[in-house]
Structure 1
């Protein structure tokens, strides 16, 4: 895959969903994991196949966030996986600008993220 097929980032959520699925379904896919992501997988009782399932079948609902490296962006893919029961996981990835490379930054339970972020637990009354 050349840079022209990947396209210039940041992508809108629907485009990011399609492109991340395309990248993750390719046999040439290379996944790298930050140590933080590996720790979160273990902590949450999830496995690497949950990450792969989410990347191949999940959805990006929110806009990209710039990564610390200029020209790169983070996307959160959300999905229920066979190992996550009725809970959705979020997989934060940074795609390379060309090729079939995804760096997994973290893995989270969406319902825990929303509570921590304050969207479920409101401000003090």
Structure 2
């Protein structure tokens, strides 16, 4: 059963993990996300690991499409060494879909002003 969004961080963590672990999961990658994966030397399995085991710590931001929200899932992954990555996703729970908007190094993100969560270039 789909739970209406926006979700608070603890609920978002639970729902995103549930979608990521569902055998019917469908992942969609925006061009920006693919470029950031290559730039950071990460692979798709890192994204999946983060979505299955990571945590949402911040409130969601509205996404481009009305009624949709983006969440940043933070996690250390097999290829990230001692660094945490942030994976920004837009979930579509009823469709078992997680749309990956971008991926970032958390330590780089936190040093810069602004937020990739505000990027709406290619939803």
Which residue of 98, 111, 116 maps to 1:102?
98
Ranges of 4+ aligned residues in structure 1 off by more than 6 Å: none
Which residue of 100, 111, 124 maps to 2:107?
111
Q: State the 1:55 CA deviation.
A: 0.1
Q: 1:121: which partner in 2?
A: none
Number of aligned pairs?
Answer: 114
Provide the alpha-carbon RMSD of the alignment. Answer: 1.0
Q: 2:67: which partner in 1?
A: 71
Larger Rg: 1
Q: Distance in 1 between matches of 2:44 and 2:70?
A: 19
Q: State the 1:98 CA deviation.
A: 1.3
Q: Distance in 2 between matches of 1:61 and 1:6?
A: 21
With structure 2 as the length reference, what TM-score do the two structures score? 0.90
Provide, for residues 37-84 of structure 1, a one-character-per-residue CA deviation record: whole Å limited to 9, x for no partner: 000000000000000000000000000000011000000000000110
